């Protein structure tokens, strides 16, 4: 009998716990929920375990304060870190979250040497690069989540404005997971039909602006926290692609080595995601203004990397 795969979620806050719920409901794997807060991951894991009979799920869900319990994970999702508050950008979290994520990442190789790692903590592109450096893992096995989330937000906004089903909308957001992200208008379609057939240029530009501000919009409404349902769903989409070897095309933050004219930096681009992690980076033609916007976004990520290295 094949042993069930294990997914460890690092950080049992809103994003981590919501992701653990989606994984438990799916029955795809066993889940280890880690957090440094005593009792919190254990309590949330027990609550989820008690819901599994109602979901018809055979997943085992456990909580822990010890990273050693994550040993043997197929996938590790890092959500640990400080969340944004009103008035904060993702970049404001840089130094504090780098200490948290870096400390966790350096312990992973001894425990789960074959794991695929998904970085969710902000600023996500920089955290993914930090995880790669601290673990020494091949870049294919360290991937960032932001593009899936940003693209989902873009698709939701297009669907709402065009009056169509969200699932019929296809769109890709590239670049860094920050204010200079690049929603690619030339790739926005509804069942293969260009989005401009449904929406005027001004409306599309407004949607692009709202997408760039999507996380901050939620932070301003919540006032005491940041988004977690859509980030958790985005993480689940990626975990599922790895566990089931789906070869799914998703926009993810990956280490670029010449693709799109960028090297030595993580940024969001379309990839094929499967059991080995990033199995292929897809290069799509961009309009000149889109390529220029992508370059600016990558430059913003590089500036954060420099800031991190100088502190």
Report d(CA 69, CA 186) in Å as an integer.
46
Report d(CA 179, CA 169) in Å as an integer.
23
Q: Find the helix or strand (DSSP H, E) in which 214 lies.
A: helix 214-222
- The SS3 of residue 264 is strand
177 is catalytic: yes
DSSP per residue over 118-134, as a string? EE-SSSHHHHHHHHHHH
Structure tokens belonging to residue 178: 């920050």
197 burial (CB, 10 Å; 0-12 / 13-18 / 19+) is exposed
Find out whether 15 and 146 touch, Cβ atoms under 8 Å: no
**Alpha helix ranges (H) inside 79-178:** 94-105, 108-111, 124-135, 146-162
Structure tokens belonging to residue 166: 């969200």
CA quadruple 214, 219, 222, 223: dihedral sign: negative
Q: Find the helix or strand (DSSP H, E) in which 6 lies.
A: strand 6-10
Q: State the residue for tokens 């699932």.
A: 167
Cross-strand bridge partners of residue 170: 189
Selected catalytic residue, list 177, 236, 239, 241:
177
Report d(CA 248, CA 241) in Å as an integer.
6
Please list the active-site residues: 177
């Amino acid at each position: 009998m094949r042993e069930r795969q294990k997914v460890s979620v690092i950080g049992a806050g809103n994003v981590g716990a919501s992701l653990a719920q989606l994984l438990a409901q799916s029955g795809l794997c066993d889940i280890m929920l880690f957090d440094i807060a005593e009792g919190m991951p254990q309590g949330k894991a027990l609550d989820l375990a008690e819901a599994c009979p109602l979901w018809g799920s055979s997943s085992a869900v456990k909580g822990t304060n010890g990273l050693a319990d994550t040993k043997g994970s197929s996938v590790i999702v890092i959500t640990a870190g400080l969340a944004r508050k009103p008035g904060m950008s993702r970049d404001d979290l840089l130094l504090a979250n780098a200490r948290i994520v870096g400390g966790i990442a350096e312990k992973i190789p001894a425990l789960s040497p074959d794991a695929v790692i998904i970085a969710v903590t902000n600023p996500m592109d920089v955290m993914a690069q930090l995880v790669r450096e601290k673990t020494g893992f091949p870049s294919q096995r360290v991937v960032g989540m932001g593009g899936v989330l940003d693209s989902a937000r873009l698709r939701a906004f297009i669907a709402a404005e065009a009056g169509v089903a969200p699932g019929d909308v296809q769109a890709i957001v590239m670049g860094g997971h920050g204010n200079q992200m690049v929603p690619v208008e030339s790739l926005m379609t509804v069942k293969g039909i260009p989005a401009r057939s449904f929406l005027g240029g001004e409306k599309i530009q407004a949607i692009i602006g709202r997408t760039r501000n999507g996380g901050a919009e939620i932070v301003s409404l919540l006032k005491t926290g940041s988004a977690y349902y859509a980030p958790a769903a985005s993480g689940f989409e990626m975990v599922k692609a790895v566990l089931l070897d789906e070869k799914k095309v998703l926009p993810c933050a990956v280490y670029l080595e010449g693709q799109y004219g960028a090297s030595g930096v993580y940024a969001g681009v379309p990839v094929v995601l499967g059991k080995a992690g990033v199995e292929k980076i897809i290069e799509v033609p961009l309009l000149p203004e889109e390529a220029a916007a992508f370059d600016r976004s990558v430059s913003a990520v590089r500036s954060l990397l420099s800031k991190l290295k100088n502190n």
